[in-house]
Amino acid sequence: MLQHSPSNPDPSSTSLADLPQFDHDHAGVVLYGVDDTTGIVAVEMLGNDRMTVFHRTRQGTTESTIEPFTPWLVTADPRPWQQSPSVTQIRELRGPHPVRFVVEFANWDEYRRLTAGLRGNDAQRDDIYMNGSPVSQFLMQTGKTLFTGMTFDDVRRMQLDIETLGLDPNEPEAEVIMIAIRQGDVERVLVQQESEAELLDALNDVFAELDPDIIEGHNIYSFDLPYLATRAQRHRVRLSLGRDGSPPQIWENQQRFRAGPVSLPYTAVHIHGRHVVDTLQQIQRHDVQGVLTGYGLKNVIRELGIEREDREFVAGDEIANLWRAGERDRERLARYALDDVRDTDLLARITTPTEFYQTQILPLTYQRATVSGTGKKIDDLMIRAYLSASHSLPLPNPPRDYPGGYTSVLHSGVFGPIVKADVESLYPSIMISRNIGAASDVLGAFPILLRDLTQRRLDAKQRVRETEGEERARYDALQGSFKILINSFYGYLGFGIGRFNDYDAAEAVTLEGQRIIKAVVAQLEATGATPIEVDTDGVYFTPPENVRDELAEEAYVEHIGQSLGAGIRLAHDGRYRNMLSLKMKTYGLLGYDGSLLLKGSALRSRRMEGCFQEFLRTAALHLMLGERDKAREAYFQLAERIQKKELRPEEIGQWAMLKRSTAEKQPRLNRLLRSTQGQWKFGERVVIYERDNGELGLIQNYSHDENTVVLLRRLKETATRFREIFPSDAEFEAFFPTIQQTTHLDQARKRQPVEQLGLF
């Protein structure tokens, strides 16, 4: 299959250890590993020195085999382990790099005992390479990967959602009353009948019957699975969800997952022989452009445009009442629970196939792949390639600063029409066409991986154009997974703990990128266009007067790109009716279909009160449409609603994640939490507002006591987001005047007629 098709049909016929360098014939095994065993759906450690490998057979059953496992590390100095009876072998790798001795241990317990002082932050010592996951060690050691030869639809994906009578599973009455399950064509709602314990036992039976490979849920890490585990413990019910009949393992220490450049905390859960995937995490990783206003399941489904017309909705505070009301209302609650797992399935199909197909490449479990950053993934590929060739590892280069991409706001204001031109895969294209890679990569794995992934992506994109339905979706997910890895190779050069990082190479790439994008800007200006904003690999611009339809725009962009040299392609990447340019990476775009996109945290902060988020969208839209008077009137209308306390509670609240450390540093928040004990718990997200006495309140306790002085001040602060488009502070103040509780709004409106302002 395309997702696993080594160029060498029999990689075992050539010893990688004999190669002076990798070449194209070995691209497949460098990318996918030397063992092409198909149908592995999970790997788990058995005891201390064996692994259980779960396989999907051709008949669709799941079988397991037991394979030996030898824990290992690679070090520059083997002396600390030479005299240990628990070390079974020390062997030297070939090549010039200093990290060259593989130390093998008798079993996992001994490995952990002898490396205890190296774990944690010290595990990143330059002279020692350690991998803290026994499964990843096994996969890297054997060259196996999960899901080889399988498609996303081949695995058994179960969606799970629970309905409860409370939010704190430690409260006696906060019972689990329903558990919705979906797996393929199977849809069930388990309903509590005699007791909660019986319901939990029924869940065990469903897991034994359906035997899922993957369990998906929205906020399943922080809510569903820990909640079920706590309630099971209360009733002394063994929650046998693992393939070996074991209960879920809830990690006590918070872990972190990568969502773009951000690292976020979560409570990890491990279920033996299965993979847990949280769609709440995955939509955050998927939303790289920051388009979504929030990540709650209902909000995401609605904003993605995939909400079903007959979808059942139940507010959280209605659940208990519906449960107690009678059979008909319980049926409604069951429909709601079932719709939740259906939505989770839809969301998973959008956000997780790329990670699934990456797992076919990486020495990682699927669960680990969904939370790992791309820098680690490239590092794992490089290290596996070198160890498969019995080659030594380099020391990482010490971090240093180097230039970034060229970014600039050339003009502020409202402009239109707008075209975006983008240099396709700028940095990967530079690395391939200019042959830039890591100097320590003496085997040439870096360019082999990058070129092979690029070709495989082109092949997959071609198949997208040639196919339909599920097959098309599969190839689209495959090319997406390749794209993410391809775009990570440049970042890996500057990855502080990457074994093969290279800051000189990263600098060479960015300097060449700057030259190319500056050349694009110069060509645009020379041919009558007006560049508005430049951001690393793309330019927003107004085209020349004679370029006024999409075909003409595409031809114009192609003409501009002809001067950029071999291997560099400039593409038409979007067209818009208008653009509101404010600051770097802070702008609004108005589509020809009326769609509005705001970019930058200043225009779309999720922590901002709802009324101010709506004001920014309304004002930006009117400004882009040239309706300045309406933008100004929106400001006064919101001020009037604040003065009269006409805003709804959800319009004045700000959400906050409750952390003990944060509460201790904020006296007002600390006082609020002490006075509202029982209404919250640490780790939850709550909505708060400022009361007229200066204290904070929970939004559910709102009683028309908001601090209008603060809200009016916040309104003016929000309006300052548009300051850049005004010629002077005086004209900005005339357009959006400071308003207080005592300000007479009709008089303030008339102080400066809009048509007299020198705006834009």
Q: Could you confirm whether domain 152-353 is CATH 3.30.420.10?
A: yes
The SS3 assignment for 640 reads helix
Cis, peptide link before residue 417, omega less than 30° from 0: yes
Instruction: Let me know: does 357 contact 3? Beta carbons within 8 Å.
Output: yes
pLDDT, tens digit, 9 for 90 and up, residues 529-585: 999 999 999 999 999 999 989 999 999 999 999 999 888 999 999 999 999 999 999
Residue 333 has pLDDT above 80, yes or no: yes
267 or 660: whose pLDDT is higher? 267
Tokens of 337: 């629970």
How confident is the model at residue 387, as a pLDDT?
Answer: 95
Residue 67 has pLDDT above 70, yes or no: yes
Long-range contacts of 719-724 (CB under 8 A, 24+ apart): 719/615, 719/619, 719/635, 721/582, 721/586, 721/602, 721/603, 721/616, 722/582, 722/619, 722/620, 722/623, 724/412, 724/581, 724/582, 724/583
20 or 719: whose pLDDT is higher? 719
pLDDT, tens digit, 9 for 90 and up, residues 152-189: 999 999 999 999 988 888 888 889 999 999 999 999 99
Bridging pattern class, strands 157-164 and 72-75: unpaired
Mean pLDDT of 465-487: 86
pLDDT, tens digit, 9 for 90 and up, residues 412-438: 999 999 999 999 999 999 999 999 999
Q: How confident is the model at residue 300 (pLDDT cuts 50, 70, 90)?
A: confident
Residue 390 has pLDDT above 90, yes or no: yes
How confident is the model at residue 15, as a pLDDT?
Answer: 64
* DSSP at 20: S
Dist. CA 607–CA 601, nearest whole Å: 10
Q: How confident is the model at residue 751 (pLDDT cuts 50, 70, 90)?
A: low
Q: Look over the chain and give the mean of its residue pLDDT values, rounded to a whole number.
A: 89
Residue 526 has pLDDT above 90, yes or no: yes
Mean pLDDT of 716-732: 93
How confident is the model at residue 378, as a pLDDT?
Answer: 93
How confident is the model at residue 2, as a pLDDT?
Answer: 31
Out of 311-315, 316-320, 651-655, 726-730, pick the least confident.
316-320
Domain boundaries, the chain: 2-150+360-388, 152-353, 398-437+502-604, 607-756
Q: How confident is the model at residue 607 (pLDDT cuts 50, 70, 90)?
A: confident
Instruction: Say how far residue 309 (Cα) sits from the centre of its chain.
Output: 28
How confident is the model at residue 8, as a pLDDT?
Answer: 39
Mean pLDDT of 53-78: 95
Instruction: Let me know: does 295 contact 280? Beta carbons within 8 Å.
Output: yes
Bridging pattern class, strands 407-409 and 50-56: unpaired
* DSSP at 224: I
Bridging pattern class, strands 418-423 and 538-542: antiparallel
pLDDT, tens digit, 9 for 90 and up, residues 656-690: 777 777 777 888 988 888 888 777 767 667 889 99
Mean pLDDT of 64-85: 95
Out of 310-314, 633-637, 753-757, pick the least confident.
753-757
Rounded to 5°, angle at Cα 736 from 733 and 742: 95
Mean pLDDT of 82-87: 94
**Cβ-count burial of 634 within 10 angstroms (0-12 exposed, 13-18 middle, 19+ buried)?**
buried
**String of DSSP letters for 408-450:** EE---EEE-SEEEEEETTHHHHHHHHTT---TT-TT-HHHHHH
**String of DSSP letters for 572-584:** EEEEESEEEEEET
How confident is the model at residue 289, as a pLDDT?
Answer: 67
135 CB-side CA count, 13 A: 25
Topology (CATH level 3) of domain 398-437+502-604 = Palm domain of DNA polymerase (3.90.1600)
E strand residue ranges, 458-585:
530-535, 538-542, 570-576, 578-583
Considering the four listed CATH numbers 3.30.70, 1.10.10, 1.10.132, 3.30.450, the one that applies to the domain covering 607-756 is: 1.10.132
Q: Identify the CA nearest to 45 among candidates 158, 130, 139.
A: 139
Dist. CA 576–CA 345, nearest whole Å: 33
